[in-house]
Structure formats: structure tokens, C-alpha cells
Amino acid sequence: MSWLHAARQRLRDLFAGERSDRELAEEIAHHLELETERQMREGLDRAAARAVAYVRFGNPTTITDAARAERGSLLTEGSVQDLSWAVRSLRKNLGFTALSLLTLVLGIGACTVAFSVFNTVLLRPLPYRDADRLVFIRERTSRGELRPPSFPNFASWREQTQSFAGVAAAMHPYSRTVSVSNDAEPARLVSLEITRRFFSTLGIGMALGREFTDAEHAPGRSRVAMVSYEFWQKQMGARQPLGIIRLGDDPTPVVGVLPPGFTFLQPADIYLPHEGHTGTVRSSHNYQVVARLKPGATLAGARAEMTALSRSLKAVYGTETEAVDTDVRPLRDFVVANYRTLLSIIFAAAALVLLIACTNLVSAQLARGWHREREIIVRAALGASRARIARQLIVESVLLVISGTVLAVLVAYAAVTGIKQVGGALVPRLSELSLDARVLGFAVGVAALTALIVGIYPAFRLSRRDAGQVLRAGRGGSSVRSSVWRALIGFEVALAVVLVIGSALLVRTLRNILSAETGFDSHGVVTAAITPAESDTARFGEVVTALRALPGVEGVAFTSNLPLQWGNWSGPVRRPSDPTDRDWPAMAGFRVVSPDYFTVLRQPLLRGRAFMPSDRVGAPGVAIITPGIAEKLWPGQDPIGKRIATNYLFNDWLTVVGVAAEASSWSMPHGTQNEIYVPLDQRPGSVGQQLIAVLRTAGGPDAVMAATRAKLRAIIPHSPAQVGTIDDRIAQSAADRRFGMLALTAFGVIAIILAAVGIYGVMWYIVSTRTHEIGIRMALGATAARVRQDVLSSAAAMAATGIVLGLAAGAYATRYLQASLYGVSRLDPRIYLLGTGITLGIAVIAAYVPAWHSSRVDPMEAIRDT
Amino acid sequence: MDRSGELLPGTFEMLVLKGVSLGDMHGWGIADRIERLSGGVCDVQQGTVYPVLQRLLRRGWVVAEWRVTENQRRARYYRLTAAGRRQLADEISWWHRAIGGVDRVLRAEPREA
């Protein structure tokens, strides 16, 4: 009953693998003993007889593996056995396994992290109900610019459209002084004023309490507030009932708490009803408008309706409105507009890293295959089919990839937690970052692809050998052709070059932005925003004296908004001769400043005079303008003494007394950030909710910042100051580039490391297959230095092919980076030279250890060895 | 021409089966039989008999048991089963057919082609 016997044998093997191993070991020991005895009978001494017995037997480990492989393979068609063979094989080569796992973790991990960012920011819907029905609406001017709408235009849209279930607006957030109870320390917090039914339009339910009623929005009503979940938790101690907080001096009841994590465009702590004191100027630009499409309404339909409405509003209001049309787009497109290209580039970079990782694994498998040749030959000679050997090699690769993926996901999880903290301030929505089901699915897909690439090609190559060919040809004969290596190395070097070029371009961009010409000296300027109450105006003299007395402070001035913050207050400018029924000829920002402002910022006055103490309330209205306004309004003429009007000052006529250099931030072209400056002493009522002190410091700004905060707290205790530096704000304005730079640099470094590992491995392999040849050359008189140099130059040659390819690919790929660059050409030869230098250097360094090893070959041993 | 160690695929398994059929024997004895009987032509590494024996065990063509040798040592002896005997007969007749065919080809004269 042979099947019964076979079944028993298989069962026994299944449960007694270890016992079988012991039995086999005992058999082999017995065998070697018998053979030794025979050789001794032939006349050898015991030691020699033992040696011959081993030679005749073959490698016991290989034999044991092969015997093990034969055992029980009918039971499961070999898959369990393939798996245990793979585990053993990976455990036996810990170095190879560890390096492969590291490569996989870097490759798959980088891809997973990049995709999770891409997914969170670009793919996931915004965290509002039916977020794809939300649109963002802006005015389009006759110059084609998109601008935030004015309140009257918004109100007309809200009343006269049919496409929307709701239209709502928020102002720009600004900071206020808030204390959570009568005796609590006041704090400076971000508040956002909103129109009625703002949250129901967004589709946000309250965590606690309720949204404002329409009555609470009515003019003349005393104020109520809603707070963010985070504010309620941290500052209010999650108290219930919600009670009353103080906004400045006003007690304000809290009626609701927003759900955790809620933000609209920018985070805010406190939300206030706005309808009671709305803007009235149709040509100003200071609201963010969001609308929800009615069920059944389409985006195209809404656009058509809004265009028609804008035209009829323009017909009615003429020059009072700047909007000739509107721009209606999905809210998500607006939120992530600047990030789509950048994140796509980052994602592509991660894909390149993965490709490099795959290339490394393929070459490592091939090189290792050579060392495993004996094992494979014995198995083939014992009747294992080519398919069977290929399958075992594939199982091994798959096992490697699966373990690598599990590790990569764990690493990605840690990385995501880190990125959330660093990147949350740099990229919108990044604070929502997490590994969701889609990301995990993606990781599995990437792993499957990797396993396919890494498993199949080497398995195919290695299983193709036949025993006779290998035995006849000796060890070196079956080595992988050098063209394969050149292709693999060239490929990964090329990818690394592309990444290095990309990250170098962004590093350069960021440096250019931070050192960009601003029109004044921004370095060392500290700003302190305060919210003065009426009663504080009299104490400004005291504030100036106190701040100027601080050590390290050279000068103090005031301004109505932060330097370089252009556009929050901007509007049209006209001459007396301009007809009021046509578009006004120029646009300008509006700024109220103290007389010392230009001196303190070192912003040059190009013509005319600065403000003087005589420019006070009651004196004739004066203004200082930037050159762009003068060129538009009075080309070729001296603007001093000319008269202008702006809607911010109810069209009072102002006399131009001076021209100051344009202060411009890098993000807009120079010449477009024109401003009108008016004296603070003359227009104290035109300063908005906050006033900003600017301090010129000598030495580091850090000490001055702390001292300023303390000093202001002492003088104006009810309103803590918001203190910062202009340079920090410039850096913050380049946050997207910074994030891109960090990501590309990280991937560039990983790519270089992987390429170095790849070159190292391949050169090591090539050197070890050529030991014989090197031995002969050294026997014929080649010096060690010469041999070393040959290895290094062959590595450099391989890298060179890749570098040429990489430079060409870089020249093409950087076109997608174009829009993110600043002050550097995407084809800047210095960048490409740098990419070449770094990669070539790394290639030579990586090849150095194998090269050194090759020069240590002992000619006699190397020749005898084969 | 050096052809030591070369074997047609599958023939080694037949030789091991034959080696066992000549009388219950341990691994070394089987390798020794093959080598001696072939006059040194089938001089493969001795260790390779063990994986083949494992395969034969698994297929139920041989059985193994631990016995004590005449020198009072423990050894694992292999014995042919009935299925093994049938298999060996099949393989031998296949071998003769194959060899005969090859041989006829090699002896062929030009006019026969």
C-alpha cells in the first residue's frame, strides 16, 4: 500500500521536519565515516582520508537543503516548502536581506508618504458635507484680475441668484484681544467675521450649541460669538454652559462650539456675526465668498447665471464696481490651486525613488544569483524543473517585498506623524494627513508592482542556466553581461541626477526668495501688532518712548498694516480730471504711517519730502505715492503737487508731497504693488482694528521681540501684542516652495544613497567575478594602483552614461517645476554641473571599497583558485 | 573530453532505485554500488544520493528503517517497495528503448538517411 506509506511519510515530515533533519545529519555523518574508513584502507592517513571523503561527498549544507526540498513537496505542491526555503535562504544571507529591506523601506515608504500627502490635499473631499457642491466666487476686473468681492456685490449675488442653495461670506481673519472670563489674562486670538447661515452653507453641524440666528446678525444687536473646538477645550476648559467671554472690553455670550478641526481657508479661534456692520464700498475687495449649488444645479449653469448678473450689476453701478465678470470654481480647486503641480512633482519624485530601489533589488538579486549558482545547479541536476527553481526564487522575492512593505508602512506612519507637525503650517489641509484605506491600497499596489519587477526578471535569468554549461564554463562564464549592469546603473544614476537637479533648483529658489529685493531693508525689523482701544491713542507717545528705550532698538514707527502685506486694503485711484463714469486708471494699496516710517524701514524717498509734524488733523490732506502710480497717472511729469483721490478716504483730495520706492514682496512682480501712504497724525480714524509698531533693531531681533512683548503688556495690559519679524513672514510666504524643497531634497538624498548602494554592489560583484583576470594582470606586472584606477574608471564610465541621460531628462522634466522657481532658470548650467559633480563623486566613492579590494588580490591565489 | 558528472536528467534517480533493488542498503553503500558497478563512469558527488532517496521515500518507492550494522553502528537502510519495483521495471524498459533508439541513430549509414 504505497500511497498509504507515502501519506504516512508526508504526515511524518510535516510534523517532524526537525527529526528528519536530525536523521539526515546522522546519515551524512555515518556516510562520511564509512568513506573515510575506505580511504584509509586505500592507504591514506586519517586526516587526508577525511578530506577526500568530504570532497567526494560534496557540500553537506547544499545536500541537506536539496534533500529538505525534496521532502513532502507533493503535500502542498511545494508552496509551504518554497516559503520555508525562502525564509532559510534570507536568514542565511543577513547582509543581503537587511540591505534589500532597507532599499524597499526607502522606496515603498517614500512612495506611500508622497501618495498620502497627495491623497489628503488633492484627492480627499474637503471636510464639509457634500463638499463637491461648494464653489468659491471672486470678482473678475476689466484687467482680468481675480479679486475678493466687496460686500455690496456679495449681497446682490445672494439676493439675485437661483443656482445656489446658499451664498455666504467671511472677512479676512484678524486678531483680537480676548479673555475667557473677567479675571482671566487676555490673549491675542484670531477672529473671523461671517455672514448669516455661513456654517449651514458649508454643511457644518455644531459640536455644541447652535449657529447664529438671523436676528443675531441684525445691526445694533449686542454681539455673540462662536468658538473653535480647540479654543473651547484648551482656553475655556471645555466648560458648560459656555458662558461669556470678553472681546476687548465687551462681554460676549458664546452660543456655539464648532466641530474639532474645523477651518475655513485659514484657522480661527473665534467666529463673530458680521451683517451688522458690513462694508459699503462696492469697489473694495475684502470678502471670501462661498456658495452651495442647489440640487440639480450645475457648475456651468451657475457660471452663466453669475456672468449675466455681473454684467447687469456693472450696467447699474458703473465705476462703483470693478467687477465685469465673476470667477466661479469648486472650492477645493481654490484651496489647493497652488499645490497641485508641486504635489504632483513630489509624487513623481517618489516614484523615481521607487524605480531606483527596484533597480537596486534587481541587480542585487542578479549578483547574488551568481554566488548561489552552485546551489541552483545542484537542484537542477537533481531534477528540479526550471519552473520550480524560478518559482522558489520568486517566492523569495515576494517574501522580501511583503516584509519590506510592512516595514515601509510602519515607517510611513511615523513619517506622516512628523510631516503633519512640520508641514501643517506649510501646506493647506496637511493637518488632516493620515494613512487611510486608499493609501494602504496604494501601498499594496506598489508592493505588487515591485514584486513583479524584482521577482520575475532575475528568476527568469537565473533559472535559465543549465548545469552542463555552467560546469564546463567554470565560475565566471555565467556572469551577467556587462551591458546589463551598465543599463541598470545608468538608469538609476539618471534618476538620481534628475532628483538632484530638481531639489537644487528649489533650494536656489528659496534662497533667492529670502534674499529678494524688497525696496527696503527688511533684515532685523521687528513688528508688533496691537489692538488699541480709544483710550490708548493718548498713550502712543509713551509707547514710542518705551520701545525706543529698549536695548538694541534703533528706531520705532507705526503703520496700519504689516509691511509687504499688500492687497488687504487696496482700491482704485483717480485724478481730478478722470471722469467718474469710467474705470479708474490705477490701483493702489492704502497705508497709514507715522512720520518716521520710511526712515525706520530704510525705504528710500525718491522725490519730495517725508511726512512732518505739521501734517496733522485739519491741515491740507497729503500723500506719498510709489513711482508706479505717478507713471500711470502723470507719465513724464513731476507728480509732486498733483492731486489724487482714493475710495478709502471717501474721495477726499490729497496732495502728493513725495514719492517713495515701492516695497514689494517676491510673490508679485515689481511695479504692481503700488501704495498710497497717508500720515497717521492726520488720519487717526483711518487706522483699522489694529496698529503695527515697526522696530529697527541692531543685533539679533530675538531679545528685542521678548522685551517688546513685555513692555507692551505693561503699557497696554488689556491687549497683548503679536510680535514677529518681517524676514520670518517672507519665509512663511514661500511655505509651498519650502515644503517642495524639503520633499525633493529628502527624495534626492534617498536617491543618491540608493544609487551609491547600487553602484557599490555591482562593482563588488564585477570585481569578484574578475578576480582571476585581475590576478593574471598583477602577475604580469600591473600595480595595485593601476588595478584600482581601472575599477574606479569603469564605475565612472557606467555613471557617466547615466549622468548624460539624467541631464537630458532633467532638462525636460524641470519644465513642470518652472512655475515654482524664482530667480533661477530651470536650465541654469551651474545646477546641472552640480548634479553631475555630486553623482559622479558618489559613484567614485561607492566604487572605492570594491576597487581597493581588487587591488589586494593575491595573484598566485587568484590564478590557482580557478 | 571531460564529461565527468554529466548525466541525462532523470537517469540518476533510476540508478539509485536500482542500487536499492540489489539489497537493503544505506546511503553510502548505494553510492558505492553505483560507482563500482558503473566502473567509475557515473562518478557523481556521493551526497547527491540523499535528496534522491528523499524523493523516492516520498513517492513510496522505497522505505527506510534504522538498523545496526555489522560494525555495531546505527545506519539508515533503504528497501525497495512493490511500487518501487514496478517503477524500476518501467524505467529500465524506458531506458532500453531510449538507448536503442539513440544507438540506431548513431549507427546509421549514409544510404539509410
Q: What is the pLDDT of residue A497?
A: 94
Q: What is the pLDDT of residue B2?
A: 41
Chain A partners within 8 Å of B81 (Cβ): 2, 5
Chain B partners within 8 Å of A377 (Cβ): none
Distance CA A346, CA A747 (A): 9
Q: What is the pLDDT of residue A391?
A: 77
Please, which pLDDT band fits residue A85 given cuts at 50, 70 and 90?
A: confident
**Is A222 in a helix, a strand, or coil?**
coil
Chain B partners within 8 Å of A383 (Cβ): 9-10, 12-13, 52, 55
Please, which pLDDT band fits residue A300 given cuts at 50, 70 and 90?
A: very high
Q: What ipTM is given for this predicted complex?
A: 0.86
Give A201 or A89, the one with higher predicted confidence.
Answer: A201
Candidate ranges A135-149, A301-315, A845-859; pick with highest mean pLDDT: A301-315
Q: What is the pLDDT of residue A658?
A: 93
Top residue of B25, B26, B57 to mutate, by most chain A CBs within 10 Å, is B57
State the DSSP code for A517: -
Q: Are A539 and A860 in contact (CB under 8 A)?
A: no
Query: B55: nearest CA in chain A?
Result: A70
Q: Say if A41 is an interface residue toward chain B (CB within 8 Å).
A: no
Q: What is the pLDDT of residues A722-777, one digit of tens each?
A: 888 988 888 888 888 888 888 889 999 999 999 898 888 888 888 877 777 888 88
* Pick from A13, A63, A72: CB nearest B47: A63
Residue corresponding to grid cell 449649488: A293
Query: B53: nearest CA in chain A?
Result: A67
Q: What is the pLDDT of residues B7-18, one digit of tens each?
A: 566 688 889 999
Task: Assign 3-class secondary structure to A640-702.
Answer: CCCEEEEHHHCCCCEEEEEEECCCCCCCCCCCCCCEEEEECCCCHHHCCCCEEEEEEECCCHH
CA distance A49 to chain B (A): 15
On the 0-12 / 13-18 / 19+ scale of CB atoms within 10 A, A15 is: exposed
Q: What is the pLDDT of residue A303?
A: 94
Q: Are A796 and A490 in contact (CB under 8 A)?
A: no
The cell numbers describing A320, all together, are 462703483
Looking at every residue in chain A, the average pLDDT score rounds to 83
Question: How many Cβ atoms sit within 10 Å of the Cβ of residue A618?
Answer: 5
Q: What is the pLDDT of residues A362-393, one digit of tens each?
A: 888 777 776 666 666 666 666 666 667 777 77
Distance CA A522, CA A562 (A): 12
Please, which pLDDT band fits residue A174 given cuts at 50, 70 and 90?
A: confident
Chain A partners within 8 Å of B7 (Cβ): 381
Chain A partners within 8 Å of B30 (Cβ): none
With CA atoms as reference, report the closest residue to A484 among A507, A458, A509: A458
Backbone angles phi, psi at B55, to 5 degrees: -65, -40
Query: B59: nearest CA in chain A?
Result: A6
The cell numbers describing A859, all together, are 595573484
Q: What is the pLDDT of residue A695?
A: 93
How many C-alpha atoms does A187 have within 13 Å on its Cβ side? Answer: 14
Q: What is the pLDDT of residue A8?
A: 61
Q: What is the pLDDT of residue A503?
A: 92
Q: Do A6 and B58 touch (CB under 8 A)?
A: yes
Amino acid at the residue A621: G
Give A2 or B58, the one with higher predicted confidence.
Answer: B58
Q: What is the mean pLDDT of residues A204-220?
A: 87
Enumerate the H helices of A716-865 as residue ranges. 726-733, 735-769, 771-779, 784-813, 829-855, 859-864
pLDDT > 70: percent of chain A? 88
Residues of B with CB under 8 A from a CB of A: 5-7, 9-10, 12-13, 26-29, 31-32, 45-48, 50-55, 57-61, 63, 73-76, 81-84
* Pick from B29, B32, B58: CB nearest A70: B58
Top residue of A30, A55, A379, A388 to mutate, by most chain B CBs within 10 Å, is A30
Distance CA B12, CA A496 (A): 51
* Pick from B10, B28, B60: CB nearest A35: B28
Does the pLDDT of residue A472 top 50, yes or no? no
* Pick from A30, A35, A58: CB nearest B48: A58
Please, which pLDDT band fits residue A467 given cuts at 50, 70 and 90?
A: very low
Q: Say if A29 is an interface residue toward chain B (CB within 8 Å).
A: no
With CA atoms as reference, report the closest residue to A446 among A760, A110, A672: A110
Query: A11: nearest CA in chain B?
Result: B58
Distance CA A776, CA A866 (A): 12
Q: Say if A37 is an interface residue toward chain B (CB within 8 Å).
A: no
Q: What is the mean pLDDT of residues A121-148?
A: 87
Distance CA A508, CA A831 (A): 9
Rg value, chain A, Cα: 37
Q: Which of A81-85, A186-190, A395-399, A829-833 has the lowest mean pLDDT?
A: A81-85
Q: Do B51 and A63 touch (CB under 8 A)?
A: yes
Please, which pLDDT band fits residue B3 given cuts at 50, 70 and 90?
A: very low
Enumerate the H helices of B22-79 as residue ranges. 27-37, 49-59
Q: What is the pLDDT of residues A599-630, one digit of tens each?
A: 999 999 999 999 988 888 888 889 999 998 99
CA distance B97 to chain A (A): 21
On the 0-12 / 13-18 / 19+ scale of CB atoms within 10 A, B110 is: exposed
Q: Are A843 and A799 in contact (CB under 8 A)?
A: yes
Does the pLDDT of residue A831 top 90, yes or no? yes
Please, which pLDDT band fits residue A17 given cuts at 50, 70 and 90?
A: low
With CA atoms as reference, report the closest residue to A179 among A92, A270, A97: A270
Sequence-separated (6 or more) residues with CB below 8 Å from residue A427: A117, A121, A339, A735, A736, A739
Task: Please provide the DSSP assignment of A297-328 as one string.
Answer: --HHHHHHHHHHHHHHHHHHHGGG--EEEEEE
Q: What is the pLDDT of residue A74?
A: 42
Distance CA A224, CA A245 (A): 9
Q: What is the pLDDT of residue A61?
A: 82
Chain B partners within 8 Å of A26 (Cβ): 74, 76
Instruction: Please list the residues that pair with A659 across neighbouring strands.
Output: A607, A625
Q: Do A30 and B74 touch (CB under 8 A)?
A: yes
Q: Do A6 and B60 touch (CB under 8 A)?
A: yes
Q: Do A30 and B26 touch (CB under 8 A)?
A: yes
Distance CA A314, CA A531 (A): 37
Chain A partners within 8 Å of B72 (Cβ): none
**In A, residues 319-378, which contact B (CB 8 Å cutoff)?**
378
Give A32 or A464, the one with higher predicted confidence.
Answer: A32
Does the pLDDT of residue A804 top 90, yes or no? yes
Q: What is the pLDDT of residues A100-131, one digit of tens each?
A: 898 899 999 999 999 998 888 888 888 888 88
Chain A partners within 8 Å of B67 (Cβ): none
Query: A75: nearest CA in chain B?
Result: B58
Amino acid at the residue B63: V
Chain B partners within 8 Å of A58 (Cβ): 45-48
Q: What is the pLDDT of residue A545?
A: 86
The cell numbers describing A353, all together, are 525613488
Q: Say if A474 is an interface residue toward chain B (CB within 8 Å).
A: no
Q: What is the pLDDT of residues A674-710, one digit of tens each?
A: 889 999 888 877 776 678 889 999 878 888 898 898 8
CA distance B86 to chain A (A): 12
Strands A174-179 and A187-194: antiparallel
Strands A146-147 and A134-141: antiparallel
The cell numbers describing A805, all together, are 541621460
Residues in chain B: 113
Chain B partners within 8 Å of A2 (Cβ): 59-61, 81-84
Backbone angles phi, psi at A723, to 5 degrees: -110, 140
Query: B30: nearest CA in chain A?
Result: A31
With CA atoms as reference, report the closest residue to B98 among B4, B11, B2, B18: B11
Q: What is the dihedral of CA A621, A626, A628, A633, to 10 degrees?
A: 20
Backbone angles phi, psi at A624, to 5 degrees: -115, 140
Sequence-separated (6 or more) residues with CB below 8 Å from residue A452: none
Q: What is the mean pLDDT of residues A550-561?
A: 89
* Pick from B26, B52, B73: CB nearest A382: B52
With CA atoms as reference, report the closest residue to A104 among A474, A306, A354: A354
Q: Are A313 and A156 in contact (CB under 8 A)?
A: yes
With CA atoms as reference, report the closest residue to A134 among A337, A263, A302: A302
Instruction: Please list the residues that pair with A164 across neighbouring strands.
Output: A293
Strands A654-660 and A622-625: parallel
Q: Are A557 and A693 in contact (CB under 8 A)?
A: yes
Q: Do B46 and A10 touch (CB under 8 A)?
A: no
Q: What is the mean pLDDT of residues A173-179?
A: 80
CA distance B113 to chain A (A): 30
Question: Considering the domain B11-105, what is its CATH architecture?
Answer: Orthogonal Bundle (1.10)
Please, which pLDDT band fits residue A192 given cuts at 50, 70 and 90?
A: very high
Distance CA A686, CA A601 (A): 21
Does the pLDDT of residue A225 top 50, yes or no? yes
Q: Are A270 and A228 in contact (CB under 8 A)?
A: yes
* Pick from A3, A59, A70: CB nearest B54: A70
Q: What beta strand segments (E) does A222-342 contain?
A: 225-227, 244-247, 250-257, 270-273, 287-293, 323-330
Top residue of A27, A36, A68, A470 to mutate, by most chain B CBs within 10 Å, is A27
Chain B partners within 8 Å of A33 (Cβ): 73
Element (H, E) at A457: helix A437-463
Instruction: Please list the residues that pair with A605 across neighbouring strands.
Output: A660
Q: Say if A382 is an interface residue toward chain B (CB within 8 Å).
A: yes
Q: What is the dihedral of CA B84, B86, B92, B97, to 10 degrees?
A: -140
Please, which pLDDT band fits residue B6 given cuts at 50, 70 and 90?
A: very low
The cell numbers describing A218, all together, are 441684525
Helix crossing, A60-70 with A79-92: angle to 10°? 160
The cell numbers describing B95, all together, are 531506458
pLDDT > 90: percent of chain A? 24
Please, which pLDDT band fits residue A537 given cuts at 50, 70 and 90?
A: low
Chain B partners within 8 Å of A70 (Cβ): 51-52, 54-55, 58
Q: Do B28 and A3 touch (CB under 8 A)?
A: no
Distance CA A494, CA A755 (A): 9
Does the pLDDT of residue A313 top 50, yes or no? yes
Query: What is the interface size between A and B, counted as CB pairs within 8 Å?
Result: 106
Distances (CA, A) of A113 to A611, A747, A763, A766, B10: 55, 11, 31, 35, 52
Amino acid at the residue B76: R
